[in-house]
């Protein structure tokens, strides 16, 4: 992997890593929440064999990327455009997993002349999506967390900062906190040595300098996104594990009903971390 700092709007620095075939089809990978540029990602040798150049970056406030206070989901499009310009790219594909899903959809909506395909795995839908019970089927810890977010920063920021410090020092803590609420399929996945190693690495890097990225992500998810998913014209692939309780499956069903060229793939028995098993195939589809 090759690390590069790219200048975005306002002189902010974005930490960007590339892997795979340096001359291959460019695909942006937008990480989960919390997360970072370091993973989980397929091995560089796998990407090279697929003829793909994978570009991942820390969203503002995560890892080595400077914070952008008050950012909306839509801001991801401007950052991706800045990175693409720095790399001399005209067209590209975008894939987002979990918290990266809404940001990937923002790129497709706001960069219609550049995003050729978009994939969103276990994505959230807009907070006030018409006809969607946003909290329906969501695990109790997430309901509690997002409810506090919607009450205002004074109700959750200190907790997030405390938890991020614990996770940075011991990234096993986040996975251990999640395990009691995970269905059996997800428990098996996060106990896999390779996947667990990637998750630990991304959580530790995410909180290298604190919880700002995490705080700004959840604020952005619960505020207006700054674009309409109905405007997405690119071919869109949505994937969701039917047993997901962190990002409930009805979120992807709603997105599929409102994005004109969306195909929805529901996997019975799979849950949130099942997206890691289908990522390589989804990236292959995105690369065309």
Mean of the pLDDT values across residues 246-262?
Answer: 98
Number of helices (H) and strands (E) in the chain: give both, helices first: 11, 8
Cα three-residue angle 251-255-259, rounded to 5 degrees: 175
Name the token pair of 280: 């390589």
Question: Measuring CA to CA, which residue among 115, 76, 43 is closest to residue 227?
Answer: 76
Q: Enter the DSSP assignment of 39.
A: B
Mean of the pLDDT values across residues 183-209?
Answer: 91
Mean of the pLDDT values across residues 5-19?
Answer: 96
The pLDDT tens digits of the residues spanning 126-144 come to 999 999 999 999 999 999 9
The pLDDT tens digits of the residues spanning 23-42 come to 999 999 999 999 999 988 89
CB 141 within 8 A of CB 150: no
The pLDDT tens digits of the residues spanning 34-84 come to 999 998 889 999 999 999 999 999 999 999 999 999 999 999 999 999 999
pLDDT of residue 61: 98
**Is the per-residue pLDDT at 263 higher than 80?**
yes
What is the SS3 string spanning 169-237?
HCCHHHHHHHHHHCCHHHHHHHHCHHHHHHHHHHHHHHCCCCCHHHHHHHHHHHCCCCCCHHHCCCCEE
Architecture of the domain delimited by 2-287: 3-Layer(aba) Sandwich (3.40)
Per domain, the residue ranges of the chain are: 2-287
**Is the per-residue pLDDT at 1 higher than 80?**
no
pLDDT of residue 29: 98
Name the token pair of 288: 């065309």
Considering the entire predicted model, what is its pTM?
A: 0.96
Q: Cis omega (within 30 of 0) on the bond before 74?
A: no
CB 210 within 8 A of CB 164: yes
What is the SS3 string spanning 254-281?
HHHHHCCCEEEEEECCCCHHHHHHHHHH
The secondary structure element, H or E, covering residue 112 is none
User: Mean pLDDT score of the chain, rounded to an integer?
Assistant: 95
pLDDT of residue 142: 95
């Amino acid at each position: 992997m090759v690390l590069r700092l790219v200048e975005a709007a306002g002189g902010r620095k974005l930490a960007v890593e590339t892997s795979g075939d340096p001359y291959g089809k460019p695909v942006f990978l937008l990480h989960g929440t919390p997360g970072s540029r370091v993973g989980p990602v397929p091995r560089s040798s796998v990407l090279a064999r697929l003829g793909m150049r994978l570009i991942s970056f820390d969203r503002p406030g995560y890892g080595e990327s400077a914070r952008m206070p008050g950012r909306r989901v839509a801001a991801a499009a401007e950052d991706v455009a800045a990175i693409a310009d720095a790399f001399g790219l005209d067209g590209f594909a975008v894939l987002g997993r979990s918290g990266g899903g809404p940001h990937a959809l923002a790129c497709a909506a706001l960069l219609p002349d550049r995003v050729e395909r978009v994939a969103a795995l276990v994505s959230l839908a807009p907070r006030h999506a018409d006809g969607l019970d946003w909290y329906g089927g969501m695990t109790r810890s997430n309901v509690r967390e997002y409810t506090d977010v919607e009450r205002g920063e004074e109700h959750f920021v200190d907790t997030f900062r405390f938890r991020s410090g614990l996770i940075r020092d011991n990234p096993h803590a986040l996975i251990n906190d999640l395990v009691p609420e995970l269905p059996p399929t997800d428990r098996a996945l996060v106990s896999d040595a390779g996947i667990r190693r990637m998750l630990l690495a991304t959580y530790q890097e995410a909180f290298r300098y604190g919880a700002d990225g995490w705080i700004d992500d959840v604020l952005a998810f619960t505020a207006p996104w700054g674009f309409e998913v109905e405007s997405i014209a690119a071919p869109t692939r949505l994937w969701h594990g039917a047993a997901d309780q962190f990002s409930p499956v009805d979120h992807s069903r709603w997105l599929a009903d409102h994005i004109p060229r969306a195909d929805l793939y529901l996997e019975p028995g799979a849950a949130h971390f099942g997206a890691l098993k289908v990522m390589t195939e989804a990236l292959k589809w995105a690369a065309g």
